[in-house]
A and B are shown apart, each in its own frame.
Chain A
Amino acid sequence: MKPAKINVVVESKAYKLPPLPAPMRQAVMQAIDAQREKPGALLPILHGVQDALGYVPPESLALIAHELNVTRAEVHGVVTFYHHFRASPPGRRIVRICRAEACQALGARALEAHAKQSLGIDFHETTSDGAITLEPVYCLGNCGCGPSVLVESSARGAVSGEAHATVELYARVTPEAFDELVGDARSASA
């Protein structure tokens, strides 16, 4: 009796990601090409990708690894090490609440609780209408006038369809002021 044929090619479905859609691929290649000659180019490239797309798509890591001639594991390790890089698309505005001590001394703990409650989300989550992503931040350097909040548009150009990236820092944010600035962020990005 002949032994059964054994297929030695193991295809792991778990590691197969869908290919990067063409416009995303183009944005990623642009970020790579703009920075690749620099020594230690990986972080600037990841910033470029996230600035363009709002996040670093997991599907893009293989391409970045290939272009930089490093392993995908290395790129994955770097992306996941830094709090700043996101693996999924954020809301149109990212609202960062400072959790650090100087802001705590002025009521940041209460603000944090209020923000989560009024938005109905926890840190790292996005409201169901896709408007707001809530993130903690550990110091915005505005320690003399806390609690501090930074509101940023999450992506530039083509993706968001907005003309300008916005970065707005807020000081002495009370719960009421927070609701107001969230309202402004919602309407500005709608």
Chain B
Amino acid sequence: MNASTSPIKIYLPRDAAALALGADRVAQAIAETARSRGIEIDLVRNGSRGMFWLEPLIEVATPKGRIAYAPVKAADVTSLFDADFLYGGAHALRLGAVEDLAWFKQQQRLCFARVGITDPLSVEDYLAHGGYRGLKNALALSGADIVKIVTDSGLRGRGGAAFPTGIKWKTVLDASSAARAALDAAGSSESQIPNPQSRSFIVCNADEGDSGTFSDRMLMEGDPFCLIEGMTIAGIAVGASQGYIYLRSEYPHAHRALAAAIENAYAAGYLGADILGSGKRFDLEVRLGAGAYICGEETSLLDSLEGKRGQVRYKPPLPALKGLFGKPTVINNVISFASVPAILDRGAEFYRDYGVGRSRGTLPIQLAGNLKRTGLVEKAFGVTLRELLYDYGGGSYSGRLIRAVQVGGPLGAYLPESQFDTVVDYEAFAAIGAMLGHGGIVAFDDTVDMLEQARYAMEFCAVESCGKCTPCRIGSTRGVEVIDRIRANVDREKNLALLDDLCSTMRYGSLCALGGLTPDPVVSAIKYFSEDFS
């Protein structure tokens, strides 16, 4: 081949899941083979396309577009070179274009539009794929107008609580405007100065602790600028000049990606004192959690950010009025912020046109647990659980019957086959006593013991309770004991009644969702899988 042409681009994920499946070994083999054959290549470590059964997935940028080969082992690399894969040559692992794969084609990727496509750490690549257009639009608007667009889009908090994002932002905007007006009235000129000890704060909840969820991680590793842009827009909208990403310590790969991306964003003028010459300031810092599930609860997270024990606060006051360091604070999940750039770029109506009922837009759904084809499916609301489990998920990984599904993390209800026609929609899930949460779906085959799962729910709550309220702190430990007695067949009927009573105390007496929702997996396990309790 002509040596003067630029080196051929090969994309290979650095996503944690791909690394766990051997992506680094493949990268090394590719680099070594290319070197020994005197071929110049440009190996880009990108995010994952979200098809884990095909990881590590290589894409080669050929003149005819990107051609995928997957799943690739280090031992396959020599044969790939022999098959001329750099020019899309035929090979047993050749899949063609990812966009043509049925699994991928039927998705609607708005939030994940760039994940697995761009170089996650390159600002230029981000710009070339539509990045920062939302921010540019936002800079030309007033805060109130930005908030209105977000409100009109129908975006609801993707962390799990599904609170309308625009309304939260409006509360913060009004609160910080009121504070500014008070300062002006007092004749202070302070409000004219961009103050790093910001009047209000933007906080990203990246404490993705729910089992079965990994969309935050994939986005932060695969397209960190999207989150940075979303948070910057939020800062401009409500007049906050400081943002924090509270990241769980269990995500070392995401930490690395975010740190590098933030540095690059500063260098390119997309963060800092004068964003794109607008005179507006926005600073962003990553803070690490320390292995406490409860810090995914927003008020615990704020206390943790303040350097305290991550204990739940009483509400009111809402964080939107009195949040971080007592200032009005926008606190949203990663996916909520990362949905904002597309909304500001393409308009509220564009986003709102996706979805059903009051659930607008798309949801990055995570297929996890015992499924053949696990990964990330971003779809408009309205797809059924059954489609996700069988059409996308391909049935169980073990080849056995799917017996139970837990949606929405460790606090989500266990659902039996009879509920699989439930539609992905916040209200539809609430109607059957379940919750969509952060969109994680964990499938179990028929070897699962639902009494053990119920016991684990209580055990997890006992381990992770912040200890502030009694129903959660004590109730969870008593719950484990009661379930142990049921298992040992000691006064079964009495103990089942006691468990029911305990669950209702926890549900109605706990301060936050941890104690309040732990009964959901327990009660649903008893309700739908009573045979495991007899």
Binding site for B on A (CB under 8 A): 38-44, 46-47, 74, 77-78, 81-85, 96, 100-106, 109, 137-146, 148, 150, 152, 167, 169-172
Contact = CB atoms under 8 A, between A and B. Distances in A.
Contacts of B367: 144
B251 interface: yes
A100 to B, nearest CB: 3
Given A78-B308, A143-B211, A169-B19, A44 B250 contact: no
B17 interface: yes
B250 A145 contact: no
Contact of A47 (B17, B210, B290, B406): B290
A141 B254 CA distance: 10
9 contacts: A39-B197, A101-B212, A142-B17, A143-B212, A143-B214, A144-B52, A144-B367, A144-B371, A145-B52
Given A42-B308, A138-B211, 13 more contacts: A43-B288, A46-B290, A47-B290, A78-B309, A84-B249, A102-B442, A138-B410, A141-B208, A141-B250, A144-B17, A144-B214, A167-B252, A172-B21
Given A40-B307, A46-B290, A83-B292, A102 B369 contact: yes
Contacts of A83: 290-292
Interface stretch (B124-132, B350-358, B426-434, B443-451): B443-451
A171 B375 CA distance: 14
A150 B17 CA distance: 12
Interface in B286-343: 287-293, 304-311, 325
Nearest to B201: A39
A148 B456 CA distance: 18
A142 B466 CA distance: 25
Contact of B253 (A139, A144, A169): A169
B460 interface: yes
Contacts of B285: 38
A171 B21 contact: yes
Contacts of B211: 100-103, 138-139, 143
Nearest to A167: B252
B151 to A, nearest CB: 30
Contacts, number: 157
B464 A101 contact: no
6 residue pairs, one from A and one from B, having the closest CB atoms: A144-B374, A100-B211, A42-B307, A82-B290, A143-B368, A105-B369
Given A169-B16, A171-B20, A143 B440 contact: yes
A143 B366 contact: yes
A39 B52 contact: no
Interface in B161-206: 197
B444 A105 contact: yes
A7 B55 CA distance: 73
A124 to B, nearest CB: 12
A18 B406 CA distance: 50
B410 A141 contact: no
Contact of B214 (A47, A74, A101, A141): A141
A141 B309 contact: no
A143 B208 CA distance: 12
Nearest to A78: B309
Given A101-B410, A140-B250, A144-B374, A40 B448 contact: no
B213 A141 contact: yes
Nearest to A165: B252
B442 A84 contact: no
Contacts of A103: 211
Contacts of A82: 289-292, 310
